[in-house]
Each structure stands twice: as structure tokens, then as C-alpha cells.
């Protein structure tokens, strides 16, 4: 029988049998409640805990019997906590967090850095930071496993960190973090408008609003994404741009500009993430008052003394300084910003 790599949970009796009603003080079931509350999906909760979906479903059934409440109801795409679940969460989540902290503090293994770290990053912060972050962490903590997930909204990030589904979250989260969150500023990122250097319809120096609206645009996001800062600014003026391409990946977006008339308006760090393409692009200051992206790392406010988490935050701060040094809004159309 093949033997795979060691995991926190290698077998789960619940995967092959029906569990009995929830015992009094079942911490494992409370951990599953916490994972479900933060992930709002059975599959993702099971992945976070390293157990099967069947185990999560059986424990949820036992919890429902104990509390005489469905706790989580099915929504269009995710589970919805019931009123009782929302009232239980402030008691259960800190208890699960405290219990996990005990095991983390006395973790077995030859190195304090030999464990996994769950990190959530917004798409733009992934494009700007993830390659350098992976290089830094594999050099400093070669035995650590980094679990990188994509997060989009502020609420998703804060809920996941608060519920310990994530050890830290990175992105532009505004001021939505609660008092239980610690915010570490990484960098401020001005927006730039980028186009292919060979686009003959580009202005010589300044990109005026009329020219901005005349040319087609590439937007990074999903079909139903309505949170784009550019579109919000244009809508406030009663204007709209002509979006011809919607691409979900920031890393791929700059490549799609080459050989086209498309414009792309993104944070400066994202535009510079593809070093192999920078020489083929021109950079303009957008003709709209767009707020600088303020990227932060969010962790629980209460110090855990976790050396791996501390190393990750320190690496992100160093990378943030590098991004800040390279990110600036061009005063005119530049072929290759220095």
C-alpha cells in the first residue's frame, strides 16, 4: 500500500460510518462549525481541516441535532449562517482559536517553521507580491507549506482571518477590519493606464478623457463584477467606457495588450509585475481621480508568537517597500518607466 506524505489527519472514521450524536464538549465538531462559518462551503471547510466532506457533513448533522437548528442553509453559491449560528459564532470561534493556539505552541517537529501557513491574497496583490513572497519564504522556511488562496472582498478576508481559516490576508481592505484585526501597511499603489507601445492611436504625452473613452478597454475581473473603480468614476459623470475584453487574471492582462488597441487601467505594481513585457508598453496617468490602492497585511490582533507567521509578515513588509519604490503614476506617456 502506497504511503503518502504525513498529514495532520490521515484517516477519518466518519468517512466510512455514520457518527453518533454529538458528544458533550466535542471540540472537533466546534472546529468544523468554525471552518464552515468562515468558508461557507462544505468542500472548502473540509480542505481547511484536512478531513473528508463526509466528515464535515456528519458533524454538521450532529450539530444541527444538538442545537435543534439548521445552523447553515443553502444559498445560491454558498451556505448562509442562520440567526442562531451568528449568535454562536462569537463564542465558538475564539474557543477554537485558543485550542488551536495550544497545539501550535507545542507543535511537534524539528523546526518551529515546519508547518503550513494559510494566506489569502486579492488578485492584484498576488500579481504584485506572490512571486517574490514565494522566493523569500522558501529561502527562510524551507520546511513550511504555503497554502495560497484567492480572496476578493473585504468581508471574505476579515471573516476568514477572524475565524482562523486564514493565518493572514493581503489586499486593499479599506477600513473594514475589526478591532480583533491587526493591519500592517505594505504599500500604496497609484493606478496607471497601460497600452501596447505599437498602438498608433496613443497620444504623444497626456491621455485625455476623450481619447480614453474613444479607445477600447480590457478589464480585469468577472462578467458580473460591478466594483471596478474606473467604471464607478465614469458612472458618476454619466459616462461609460467600451470594454471589449474581460480577463480574470492580472498576470495575463498585460500580455493581451500586445498587438491591440486596448487600454488597461490597473494598480502600478500590477502593470510592472510582468518584467518581460514592460519594454513593450506605454504608461499614462489615468484621466480620472482614482484612489490609490492601499495594500495591507491583516492578521489577528492578539499576538500568537508564531515564528512562521512573523517571518511571513516581515517578508511582505520588505516586498512592500520594493513595490512602493517601483510604483508611481507617470506624468506623461512613457515607453519604459525607470
How do the domains of the chain map onto residue ranges?
14-105, 116-188+293-326, 191-284
Beta strands (DSSP E) in 174-240 are 181-189, 191-196, 217-220
**Predicted local confidence at residue 195, as pLDDT:** 94
pLDDT for position 93: 82
Quick check: 121 and 151 in contact, CB under 8 A?
A: yes
Fold of the domain spanning 14-105: Arc Repressor Mutant, subunit A (1.10.10)
More confident residue, 105 or 57: 57
| pLDDT(242) > 90 | yes
19: pLDDT strictly greater than 60 = no
Query: Mean of the pLDDT values across residues 48-72?
Result: 88
Q: Mean pLDDT of all residues in the chain?
A: 79
**pLDDT band for position 241 (50/70/90)?**
very high
Q: What is the pLDDT of residue 38?
A: 84
Which CATH number is associated with domain 116-188+293-326?
Answer: 3.40.190.10
Angle between helices 123-140 and 250-257 (to 10 degrees): 120
Q: Which residue has the cell 500579481?
A: 127
> How far apart, in Å, are the Cα atoms of 293 and each of 13, 185, 232?
47, 11, 15
Mean pLDDT of 49-56: 85
Summarize pLDDT for 155-201 with one digit per residue, the tens.
Answer: 777 788 877 788 889 988 766 555 667 888 999 889 999 999 999 98
Residues 7-17 have pLDDT tens digits of 333 333 333 33
pLDDT band at 222 (very low <50, low <70, confident <90, very high): low
SS3 53: helix
Interatomic CA distance for residues 22 and 282, integer angstroms:
62
Which helix H or strand E contains 32, and what residues bound it? helix 27-39
Output the CATH code of domain 191-284: 3.40.190.10
Mean pLDDT, to the nearest integer, of 86-109? 70
Are 116-188+293-326 and 191-284 the same fold in CATH? yes
What pLDDT shows up at residue 18?
A: 41
**How confident is the model over 217-241, as a mean pLDDT?**
81
**pLDDT for residue 305 is more than 70:** no
Amino acid at each position: 500500500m502506497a504511503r503518502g506524505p504525513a498529514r495532520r489527519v490521515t484517516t477519518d472514521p466518519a468517512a466510512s460510518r455514520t457518527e453518533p450524536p454529538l458528544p458533550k464538549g466535542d471540540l472537533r465538531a466546534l472546529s468544523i462549525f468554525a471552518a464552515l462559518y468562515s468558508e461557507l462551503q462544505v468542500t472548502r471547510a473540509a480542505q481547511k481541516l484536512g478531513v473528508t466532506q463526509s466528515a464535515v457533513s456528519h458533524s454538521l448533522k450532529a450539530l444541527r441535532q444538538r442545537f435543534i437548528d439548521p445552523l447553515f442553509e443553502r444559498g445560491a453559491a454558498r451556505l448562509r449562517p442562520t440567526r442562531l449560528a451568528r449568535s454562536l459564532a462569537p463564542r465558538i470561534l475564539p474557543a477554537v482559536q485558543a485550542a488551536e493556539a495550544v497545539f501550535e505552541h507545542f507543535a511537534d517537529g524539528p523546526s518551529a517553521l515546519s508547518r503550513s501557513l494559510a494566506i489569502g491574497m486579492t488578485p492584484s496583490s498576488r500579481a504584485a507580491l506572490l512571486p517574490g513572497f514565494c522566493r523569500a519564504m522558501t529561502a527562510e522556511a524551507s520546511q513550511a507549506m504555503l497554502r495560497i488562496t484567492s480572496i476578493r472582498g473585504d468581508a471574505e478576508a476579515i471573516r476568514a482571518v477572524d475565524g482562523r481559516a486564514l493565518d493572514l490576508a493581503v489586499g486593499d481592505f479599506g477600513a473594514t477590519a475589526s478591532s480583533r484585526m491587526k493591519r500592517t501597511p505594505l504599500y500604496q499603489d497609484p493606478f496607471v493606464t497601460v497600452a501596447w507601445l505599437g498602438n498608433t492611436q496613443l497620444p504623444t504625452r497626456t491621455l485625455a478623457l476623450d481619447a480614453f473613452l474613444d479607445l477600447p478597454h480590457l478589464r480585469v475581473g468577472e462578467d458580473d463584477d460591478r466594483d471596478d473603480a474606473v467604471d464607478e468614476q465614469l458612472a458618476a459623470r454619466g459616462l461609460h467606457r467600451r470594454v471589449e475584453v474581460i480577463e480574470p487574471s492580472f498576470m495575463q492582462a498585460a500580455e493581451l495588450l500586445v498587438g491591440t488597441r486596448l487600454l488597461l487601467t490597473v494598480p502600478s505594481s500590477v502593470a510592472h509585475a510582468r518584467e518581460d513585457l514592460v519594454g513593450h508598453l506605454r504608461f499614462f496617468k489615468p484621466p480620472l481621480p482614482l484612489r490609490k490602492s492601499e495594500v495591507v497585511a491583516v492578521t489577528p490582533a492578539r499576538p500568537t508568537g508564531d515564528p512562521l507567521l512573523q517571518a511571513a509578515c516581515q517578508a511582505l513588509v520588505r516586498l512592500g517597500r520594493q513595490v512602493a519604490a517601483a510604483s508611481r503614476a507617470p506624468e506623461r506617456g512613457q515607453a519604459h518607466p525607470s
